């Protein structure tokens, strides 16, 4: 879907569908007031995402009006704009209209400015326009809205254009990551993902390096290789770099890329096992973030690392009880082969720390326990640094990919001390599962400032969402891109 900005008065808007956003209890534009005059309160009252629609019958220069409620102004949140734009695109799609305009309300929700408001509308519309339809063969039953215009009569059109550009880059990067994440494991194996990374590197002029099994063996990445050894798919570690060689502050993003997580010998129950094709979300988010950061031309150097493996049970698979040595020399007792994400991240994080960045952010669908703690409305944040945490939390409020920080006190570290190696990959106590997973990762970052985002379950949409369809959510792409934009650009 294409996005554009139009400077226009509401009463002069043209086209097929125009959506008018309206706060409950406020007077809308005169033309809308006339139309809503005889409408019963029960029918339309301006409640959040309540709609009233009608053909304008020549009373206005466009054909069809949709009034979308934003709820009470004092209770409104910036994300309501994404939801309203998402609704506008879904509504237009259902009516098989190719284009839609959304008129920006004069009063903005608190905590937002005009640039961010336009950005949010663009994001909501674009995110709602993505659906995974690639594998449906009855193409004539599919319909896509092709254009969304955000319109306003404001004098601040420069800010509006900036908001549109930022929103378009952010949401397109998220949709790009979603489209890759939605590919099932029989297609999206490490080799295929490497091809996607190569295309991205070419398009965005990123440096790329691909480490194969032999190279990783030489480097001593035995934790990653142990996870991969049960699968017929060869593992890969992909390193992308933006602004390579430039004298700019370096950051690293690392994403768990388990193309399918069967659990290995500690096999998962079969119900919902298919959802483990989304266990590569962290890595797909890395691709989305590299794309967004490059297109936004952020003044940083950025390394993106994607450890890619498939976790399968077989005659060559690792066994519970195996002991392996990670890239930083620490030994790990593998007590559960389903706690594989932390094993591949161990090597990738140790490698990231070796690059001496200002900070590392990793994203991983790491634990079922985080779903129990936070459900689908928050990402678990674990960090050894106040500054990095603060920026991520702020970014989460802005992008509505909200995070909640959990403790990583050394007491929890005691829970993963092993009998026969330095650490074990699970705590048999079975308590504080997300925290002990984070404590495990912490062993591999040394003194580097680091934040870990546990994105399990928020990474795919299972239940109705105001602007994300069923399937990969791409949640994390806008969050981390925004955090990178906020993080210090000088050593300190």
CB of 367 to Zn ion, least distance (A): 9
> Could you say which DSSP state residue 368 is in?
T
* Two structure tokens written together for 353: 């720390």
CB of 433 to ligand BES, least distance (A): 6
User: Can you give 205-258 as a three-state secondary structure string?
Assistant: CCEEEEECHHHHHHHCCHHHHHHHCCCCCCCEEEEEEECCCCCCCEEEEEECEE
> For residue 293, how many other CB atoms are within 10 A of its CB?
25
Q: Of 368, 348, 341, whose CA–CA distance to 432 is shortest?
A: 368
Please say whether the beta carbons of 144 and 129 come within 8 A: yes
Residue 339 in contact with ligand BES, rule: CB under 6 A: yes
> Could you say which DSSP state residue 417 is in?
B
Interactions with Zn ion, residue window 312-351 (CB under 5 A)? 338, 340-341
CA distances from 6 to 3, 118, 352, 418 (A): 10, 11, 44, 62
Q: Binds 190, which of ligand BES, Zn ion, none (CB < 5 to 8 A, cut-off by type)? A: none
Catalytic residue from among 268, 325, 330, 376 = 268
> Could you say which DSSP state residue 142 is in?
-
Q: Which is nearer to Zn ion, 128 or 305 (CB)?
A: 305
Residue 368 in contact with ligand BES, rule: CB under 6 A: yes
Concerning whether 131 is annotated as a catalytic residue, the answer is no
Q: Which of 341, 357, 359, 476 binds ligand BES (CB under 6 A)?
A: 341
Q: Which is nearer to ligand BES, 208 or 323 (CB)?
A: 323
Rounded to whole angstroms, the Cα distance separating 17 from 63 reads 6
Give the binding range for ligand BES (CB under 6 A) out of 144-152, 348-356, 364-372, 415-423. 364-372
CA distances from 151 to 348, 409, 466 (A): 45, 50, 21
Q: Which is nearer to ligand BES, 305 or 334 (CB)?
A: 334
Q: Binds 433, which of ligand BES, Zn ion, none (CB < 5 to 8 A, cut-off by type)? A: ligand BES
First to last CA, the chain: 41
Residue 456 in contact with ligand BES, rule: CB under 6 A: yes
Give the binding range for ligand BES (CB under 6 A) out of 196-204, 290-298, 338-346, 354-362. 338-346
Residue 261 in contact with ligand BES, rule: CB under 6 A: yes
Q: Which residues contact 400 (CB under 8 A, 6 or more apart)?
A: 78, 79, 82
Please say whether the beta carbons of 379 and 402 come within 8 A: yes
Q: Binds 230, which of Zn ion, ligand BES, none (CB < 5 to 8 A, cut-off by type)? A: none
CA distances from 374 to 5, 98, 253, 458 (A): 37, 38, 23, 10
* Angle, CA 45 vertex, CA 99 and CA 80 arms, to 5°: 55
Q: Binds 368, which of ligand BES, Zn ion, none (CB < 5 to 8 A, cut-off by type)? A: ligand BES
CB of 402 to ligand BES, least distance (A): 18
Task: Please provide the size of the chain in residues.
Answer: 492
Q: Of 339, 296, 330, whose CA–CA distance to 426 is shortest?
A: 339
Q: Binds 349, which of Zn ion, ligand BES, none (CB < 5 to 8 A, cut-off by type)? A: none
CB of 260 to Zn ion, least distance (A): 9
Residue nearest to ligand BES (CB): 368
* Two structure tokens written together for 236: 């890969």
Please say whether the beta carbons of 78 and 112 come within 8 A: yes
Token look-up 């309300």 returns 105
Alpha helices by DSSP H, listed for 18-135, are 30-36, 79-94, 114-129
Catalytic residue from among 115, 239, 342, 391 = 342
Q: Binds 305, which of Zn ion, ligand BES, none (CB < 5 to 8 A, cut-off by type)? A: none
CB of 381 to ligand BES, least distance (A): 17
Q: Give the count of residues interacting with Zn ion (CB under 5 A).
A: 6
* Two structure tokens written together for 41: 């309160």
Concerning whether 165 is annotated as a catalytic residue, the answer is no
User: What are the phi and psi torsion angles at 87 (to 5°)?
Assistant: -65, -40
Q: Which is nearer to Zn ion, 338 or 362 (CB)?
A: 338
Interactions with Zn ion, residue window 232-271 (CB under 5 A)? 258, 261
Interactions with ligand BES, residue window 419-438 (CB under 6 A)? 426, 433
Give the binding range for ligand BES (CB under 6 A) out of 48-56, 166-174, 332-340, 382-390. 332-340
Q: Which of 29, 222, 340, 358 binds ligand BES (CB under 6 A)?
A: 340
Q: Which of 97, 123, 279, 362 binds Zn ion (CB under 5 A)?
A: 279
Rounded to whole angstroms, the Cα distance separating 84 from 65 reads 14
Interactions with Zn ion, residue window 197-236 (CB under 5 A)? none
Q: Which residues bind Zn ion (CB under 5 A)?
A: 258, 261, 279, 338, 340-341
Q: Which residues bind ligand BES (CB under 6 A)?
A: 261, 279, 336, 338-341, 365-369, 371, 426, 433, 456-457
Which residues are tagged catalytic? 268, 342
């Amino acid at each position: 879907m294409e996005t554009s900005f139009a400077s226009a008065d509401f009463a002069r808007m043209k086209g097929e569908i125009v959506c008018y956003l309206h706060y409950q209890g406020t007077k809308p534009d005169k033309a809308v007031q006339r139309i809503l005059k005889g409408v019963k309160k029960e029918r339309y009252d301006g409640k959040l995402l309540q709609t009233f629609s009608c053909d304008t019958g020549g009373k206005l220069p466009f054909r069809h009006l949709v009034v979308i409620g934003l709820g009470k102004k004092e209770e409104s949140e910036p994300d309501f704009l994404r939801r309203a734009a998402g609704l506008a695109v879904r509504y237009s799609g259902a009516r098989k209209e190719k284009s839609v305009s959304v008129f920006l309300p004069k009063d903005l929700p608190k905590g937002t400015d005009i640039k961010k408001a336009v950005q949010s509308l663009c994001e909501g519309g674009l995110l709602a326009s993505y659906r995974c339809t690639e594998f449906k063969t009855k193409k004539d039953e599919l319909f896509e809205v092709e254009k969304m215009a955000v319109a306003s009569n404001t004098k601040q059109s420069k800010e509006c254009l900036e908001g549109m550009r930022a929103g378009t880059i952010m949401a397109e990067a998220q949709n790009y990551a979603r489209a890759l994440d939605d590919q099932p494991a029989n297609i999206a194996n490490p080799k295929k993902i490497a091809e996607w990374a190569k295309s991205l590197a070419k398009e965005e002029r990123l440096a790329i390096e691909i480490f194969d099994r032999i190279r990783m063996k030489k480097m001593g990445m035995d934790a990653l290789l142990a996870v991969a050894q049960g699968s017929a798919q060869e593992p890969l570690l992909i390193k992308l770099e933006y602004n390579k060689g430039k004298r700019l502050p370096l950051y690293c993003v690392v994403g768990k890329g388990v193309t399918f997580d069967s659990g290995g010998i500690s096999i998962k129950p079969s119900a919902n096992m298919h959802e483990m094709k989304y266990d590569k979300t962290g890595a797909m988010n890395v691709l989305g973030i590299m794309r967004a950061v490059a297109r936004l031309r952020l003044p940083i150097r950025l390394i993106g690392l994607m450890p890619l493996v498939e976790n399968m049970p077989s005659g060559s698979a690792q066994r519970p009880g195996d002991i392996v040595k990670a890239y930083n020399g620490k030994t790990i007792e593998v007590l559960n082969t389903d706690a594989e994400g932390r094993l591949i991240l161990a090597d990738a994080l140790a490698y990231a720390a070796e690059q001496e960045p200002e900070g590392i952010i990793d994203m991983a669908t790491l634990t079922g326990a985080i779903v129990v703690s936070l459900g689908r409305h928050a990402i678990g944040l674990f960090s050894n640094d106040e500054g990095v945490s603060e920026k991520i939390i702020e970014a989460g409020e802005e992008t509505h990919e909200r995070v909640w920080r959990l403790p990583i006190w050394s007491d929890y570290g005691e829970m993963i001390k092993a009998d026969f190696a330095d650490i074990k990959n699970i705590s048999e106590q079975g308590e504080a599962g997300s925290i002990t997973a984070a404590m495990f990762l912490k062993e591999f970052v040394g003194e580097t400032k680091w934040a870990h985002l546990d994105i399990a379950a928020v990474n795919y949409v299972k239940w109705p969402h105001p602007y994300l369809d069923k399937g990969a959510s791409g949640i994390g792409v806008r969050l981390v891109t925004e955090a990178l934009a906020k993080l210090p650009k000088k050593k300190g």
